[in-house]
Structures are given as structure tokens and as C-alpha cells.
Structure 1
Amino acid sequence: MTALSDVLIAAAVIVLVVGRQLRARRLDTERRFWLLPLVLAAVALRDPVLIDPHHRVAAAVLLAGSMLTTAGMGCAWGWTVRIWRETDGTLWTKGTTATVFAWVGAILVRAAWYGVGAALHVHQSSSVLLLSLGLLLLVRSAAVQWRSRQLDGGKLHGLAA
């Protein structure tokens, strides 16, 4: 895939996810929250130059560092979501103003990693963007799932927003 298509896919996913997160939504206990992140990761990992062949060690360190900070941002994002139980027993979620800031923070962190790579003259594939987005969504959903279980003392299973 080209860099433009990676960016367009990432932008479309972000618009879709952020739009959904800022509306109150019933928590779907049957949804496979890992599917979209898995698809994004599969597309990203098909890139033969995910790691710059001329700077393997630096590129691997940059990738590992960016994935670690992305996981942290996903966790932070998962904690910005409001979760509540309605009188009928269903769980609901809604993003808050902090959710918007978490997204902006994640984008700034991703840009900072690209900046570090550029300063070190390490090529970073646009597929890293898709891989980061997949990890961000996976960790965020896992955090929301965990938080949802805490509402019922750990009795709920398979929840994701």
C-alpha cells in the first residue's frame, strides 16, 4: 500500500471511531473489539520496510518506543470514557472532553515519534501509523472492558465499546 492510502485509512478509522465515541452508546457485549485492530495490524505488518533496512537497530528502537507510548495513550484514552449502568441493566459509554484531548495527545505523540525518526535519519514507514492505530484501539477497548467489569465486581465477560 502507498503512504497516501495508509494515511487515508487511518484518517477514516479515526473519524469513525471518534465520532462513535463522542455519542452515548450501549456497550455491546457481543462485539469483537479486537477485529479492527487485528485488520489494521495485518495490513501494517505486510509492509516489507516497516523497519528501515539501513538503520535496523534505531528503527526497531523507535518502533518499540512508539508502540509502548501508544499503548500508554490507549490506556489513558480508555480511562477518559464515561461508563454507566441504566435502570434496565445495560451498560453505556460516552467519550468526554478528556477523550478528545487523549486523541489529540495520541496524534501529537505519534508526530513526535516521526520527528525523532526524521532527526535520526531513520525512515519510518506509513504502515507504522496503521500499526499504532490498531494498538491504540485494542488497548483502549481492553481498558474499557476491564473498567466495565469493575462496575459489577468482575461478573461481566466479553465487553468492549
Structure 2
Amino acid sequence: MPAVANLLVIAAVVVLVLQRQMRVQRLDTERRFWVLPLVLGVLALRDPQLVDHQHTVLSAVLLAAGLVAVLAMGTVWGWTVRIWRGADGALLVKGTKATLAAWGGMIAVRVGIYGIGSALHVHQASSALLLGMAVMLLVRSLVVNWRARMLGAESTSAVLH
């Protein structure tokens, strides 16, 4: 996919995800939360320019560093989401100010990695951002779903005692 198209997909996903995160929504732990990250990951991995072939090692190191960073930031993001039970017993979630700060931190990290790559004259494809977004969304969803299950287990054990 061309770089401009990748950037448009990334921008659309960021706007959609942030908009959804900042409002109260019912959490469906049975939902296929992995579908969007899978689609984004496949789109990214199809790009033959994901790694700069003139600077293979540096490019791979920058890509790996970016993925490690998004693993960490996805985890942080998952812990910033507020989870609670509504009056009807349904699990509800909503992003907090810390969620916005996590996004700001992730953007700063990505800009830093891009800056390092540029200083080293390593071409960084927009598909690396797409892959990072996929990993971050997947990790965030795994953390939120795990936290929700733990909340459900606490509620169940409190009823049993």
C-alpha cells in the first residue's frame, strides 16, 4: 500500500480509537478484538519496504525498538482505561486523562525513533507505523480484557463468600 494510504489509514484508526476510548462504552469480552490489529498487521507486513534494504540491520533494530516501545505503551494504555460495573451489571470502560497522556507518550516515542532513523539515513516506511499500531491495539485489548476478567472473577468470588 502506498505511504500516503498507510498514513491515512493510521490517522483514521487513531481518530476512531481515541474517539471511542474517551466515551463510556460497554465492554464485550467475547468480541473479536483481534480483528482490526490483524488486518492492520497484514497490511503492514505485505510492504516489501518495511525494512530498508540498504541499511538492513539498522532498519531492523529501529523496527524492533519501535515494536518493543508499542508493546510497553499498549500495556500502559490498557492500564489507564477505567473499568467498572454498571447498574445492570455490564462492564463499562472509558479512557482517562492518563489514556491521552499514554497516546502523547507513544507519539513522542515514535517521533524519537523516526528522528534517530533519519539521523542515521535509514528509510522508515509508513508500514512500520501501521505494524506498531496493530501491536499496540492488540496489547491494549489484551490488557483491558484481562483486567475485565479479573474484575469479573472478583465479583464472582465476592458473591460466593
- Tell me the TM-score normalized by structure 2: 0.93
Distance 2:123 2:27 in 1: 40
Structure-1 residue corresponding to 2:146: 146
Q: Which amino acid aligns with 1:5?
A: A
Structure-2 residue corresponding to 1:32: 32
Structure-1 residue corresponding to 2:85: 85
Q: Which amino acid aligns with 2:134?
A: G
Cα distance, 1:107 vs structure 2: 1.1
* Superposition RMSD in Å: 1.4
Paired residues of 2:45 and 2:127 also in contact (CA < 8 A): yes
- Runs of 5+ in structure 1 lacking a partner? 157-161
Q: Which amino acid aligns with 2:68?
A: L
Cα distance, 1:111 vs structure 2: 1.1
SS of 1:152's equivalent in the other structure is helix
Residue 110 of structure 2 corresponds to residue 136 of structure 1: no
Residue 10 of structure 2 corresponds to residue 2 of structure 1: no
Distance 2:132 2:71 in 1: 8
Cα distance, 1:30 vs structure 2: 2.8
Distance 2:98 2:155 in 1: 28
Identical aligned residues as a percent: 57
Counterparts in 2 of 1:90-105, with a 5 A limit?
90-105=90-105
Distance 1:108 1:11 in 2: 16
Distance 1:117 1:106 in 2: 16
Structure-1 residue corresponding to 2:159: none
SS of 2:92's equivalent in the other structure is strand
Q: Deviations over 1:90-119 (max 9, x none)?
A: 100000011111111111111111111111
Distance 2:106 2:139 in 1: 13
Paired residues of 2:29 and 2:145 also in contact (CA < 8 A): no
Distance 2:54 2:60 in 1: 11
Residue 22 of structure 2 corresponds to residue 16 of structure 1: no
Q: Which amino acid aligns with 2:98?
A: A
- Runs of 5+ in structure 2 lacking a partner? 157-161
Moved more, 37-46 or 107-116: 107-116
